[in-house]
Amino acid sequence: MYKLLLCSRYLRTRYIALASIVSVMLGVATMIVVNSVMAGFSTQMRERIHGILADMVLEVNDTNGAPNPELTMEKIRKVAGKYIESMSPVAEIYAMASFQWHGQIITKPVTLIGIEPDSKAKVGVLKDHLGNYQVQQDGDKVAQPAARSMDQDPNWDLLDKYLKYRKMRVEQHKWMQRKEAPEQDTEMAPAEVAPGPSIADDKTFPFVPEPDELQFTENPFPQGDPFKDDSEPHELTVEEQAAPLPGRLYVGIGVVSFQYENKNDGKLETEVMAVPGDDITIMTVNAGRPPAVVSFNATIVDTFKSGMSEYDANLVFCNLSYLQDIRGMINPSTGERSFSSIHIKLKDYKYADEVVHLLRTSPEIPVGLFSVQTWESKQGPLLAAVSVESAILNVLLFLIIAVAGFGILAIFFMIVVEKTRDIGVLKALGASSAGVQSIFLGYGLALGIVGSGVGMISGLVFVWNINWIESWLTWLTGHKVFDQRIYYFPTIPTSIEPLMVFWVAFGAMSIAVLASILPARRAAQMNPVQCLRYE
């Protein structure tokens, strides 16, 4: 009983010991904050990578793909059907995207991915990244509700507002032509339209009905061709002219925009160079031998923002069937289409390794032709780097708490010396050595509990208010603490894992107890006579 009483009294009266646990407290708080932010970054990043890649990817080793995705999917179902929820065929190829902005042609290397949006949306979180599904926010207010609701499957249809926008551009263009007609030659390329006031200024209208222009179209596949009315181009109505092209794109936001700092207020602004409804030119190679360059114009249906800058600046999604047409990924005799990979969503991701094993060892899926990987192994180096970083940081921070432990050790020795007489008295009154030892161990534990408890609470409060603290620090120092251009998140992402919090608190507590063992043993071994002799 005296142990408890003395522990609580020491806790309330020895402020020097409380000072020693401030370092434990800070260590715990720092660890919780750092871990939460790192976990936030890492989970967000994983989510984004995962969302684009799907649980597992079966890739064709040949860039030109393998024929018949349906048959391959059938085989996969046969091998590991019970684990698989859905699949989506994909064709991937390197390409260049080019468009005009302020009279300048901008060309960027991209990865062109042919997808079927409805099945792709089932294997990943495509909808979460498409602009039409996002609510436009202005601060906290909803500036514009989402154009599409989340229960609609994504497709390649252009929204009405973008159709209207196209019509407006066509009318503008016609007006310009009429205006310039008397002096200008009719062969003036529409791509040379003077830049207008709009930010999205790319206006190449290759479908504008001028016979000379149409010769440049390199679409080798006439099906679904918008140029079928070549013969009577001048009779096209505005609606027909404004009709979107058969090639449809979801463009990564980083491909068609860039960010810059406003010189006046230092705010980060985004300059969009092409918006949905605009057409851009895509150049890639066909599947022939040797590969020949193919180029086509396609209409942007939507923009795509995953938050992974690597993806957003590189990926352009295209309608799969059109890409297959353009690249000649069709067997002319059988009409079989080719694919370059199949994205697979599993019913439960924990069976991923099993499914990989099944597919790799199955004779149905020849190893030389296909490679099977989970999204994690595909992004292995990146994820490994993040986890190594987090592990090292944890070790370092835990060392800080260990240093705090030595502080406790020193202060405890001091307290034991200061309490020498009291220890002697307790022993004279019949307290056992173990009892005296447990006073100091208990005291260490109590300090550990207080330190890690307060540290835990302050750490959690810090994490919950981290964005507020960040903006306050920015205001205080005039420096941008968290630059969203670098990190690609508008706010600092955090994720609190209860287990992590528990281990950090528990570790700090055990360090406090460990640090008090030596002083406590010393107290226990004291000879009561020696303790009482000197005043």
Among residues 143, 194, 429, 499, which is the contact residue for other proteins, using CB under 8 A?
Answer: 429
Q: Rounded to whole angstroms, what are the CA distances from 234 to 178, 207, 491, 531?
A: 13, 12, 52, 112
Candidate ranges 159-167, 169-177, 237-245, 431-439; the one touching other proteins (CB under 8 A): 431-439
Q: Between 1 and 476, name the residue whose CB sits nearer to other proteins.
A: 1
Among residues 137, 270, 331, 432, which is the contact residue for other proteins, using CB under 8 A?
Answer: 432
Residue 457 sits at φ, ψ, to 5 deg, of -65, -45
Distance of CA 375 to the CA centre of its chain: 13
Instruction: Work out the burial of residue 433: count CB atoms within 10 Å of its CB; fewer than 13 is exposed, 13-18 middle, 19 or more buried.
Output: middle
Q: What is the dihedral of CA 181, 185, 189, 195, to 10 degrees?
A: -50
Among residues 422, 458, 487, 518, which is the contact residue for other proteins, using CB under 8 A?
Answer: 422
CB of 437 to other proteins, least distance (A): 13
Residue 390 identity (one-letter amino acid): S
Q: Between 322 and 443, name the residue whose CB sits nearer to other proteins.
A: 443
Q: Between 142 and 529, name the residue whose CB sits nearer to other proteins.
A: 529
Scanning residues 454 to 513, which ones bind other proteins (CB under 8 A)? none
Among residues 120, 169, 343, 427, which is the contact residue for other proteins, using CB under 8 A?
Answer: 427
Among residues 79, 110, 115, 426, which is the contact residue for other proteins, using CB under 8 A?
Answer: 426
Whole-number Å distance between alpha carbons of 90 and 57: 10
Residue 464 identity (one-letter amino acid): W
Q: 106, 115 in Cβ contact below 8 A?
A: no
Among residues 360, 421, 480, 522, which is the contact residue for other proteins, using CB under 8 A?
Answer: 421
Q: Which x/- pattern, by CB under 8 A, does the window 375-414 give for other proteins?
A: ----------------------------------------
Q: Which x/- pattern, by CB under 8 A, does the window 99-118 give for other proteins?
A: --------------------
Is residue 439 involved in binding other proteins (CB under 8 A)?
A: no
Whole-number Å distance between alpha carbons of 29 and 26: 5
Residue with tokens 């995207």: 97
Is residue 433 involved in binding other proteins (CB under 8 A)?
A: yes
CB of 427 to other proteins, least distance (A): 7
Q: Between 422 and 470, name the residue whose CB sits nearer to other proteins.
A: 422
Q: Between 151 and 535, name the residue whose CB sits nearer to other proteins.
A: 535
CB of 27 to other proteins, least distance (A): 28
Number of residues that bind other proteins (CB under 8 A): 27
Scanning residues 4 to 33, which ones bind other proteins (CB under 8 A)? 4-6, 9-10, 13
Helix (H) and strand (E) counts in the chain: 19, 15
Query: In three state form, how does the secondary structure of 133-202 look?
Result: HCCEEECCEEEECCCCCCCCCCCCCCCHHHHHHHHHHHHHHHHHHHHHCCCCCCCCCHHHCCCCCCCCCC
CB of 416 to other proteins, least distance (A): 14
Strands 104-115 and 84-101, sheet pairing? antiparallel
285: enclosing H helix or E strand: strand 279-285
Query: In three state form, how does the secondary structure of 198-265 look?
Result: CCCCCCCCCCCCCHHHHCCCCCCCCCCCHHHHCCCHHHCCHHHHHCCCCCEEEEECCCCEEEEECCCC
Is residue 529 involved in binding other proteins (CB under 8 A)?
A: yes
3 state SS of 88:
strand
Is residue 525 involved in binding other proteins (CB under 8 A)?
A: no
Is residue 528 involved in binding other proteins (CB under 8 A)?
A: yes
Among residues 182, 430, 478, 498, which is the contact residue for other proteins, using CB under 8 A?
Answer: 430
515: enclosing H helix or E strand: helix 498-525
Give the residues lining the site for other proteins (CB under 8 A): 1-2, 4-6, 9-10, 13, 421-422, 424-433, 435, 527-529, 532-533, 535
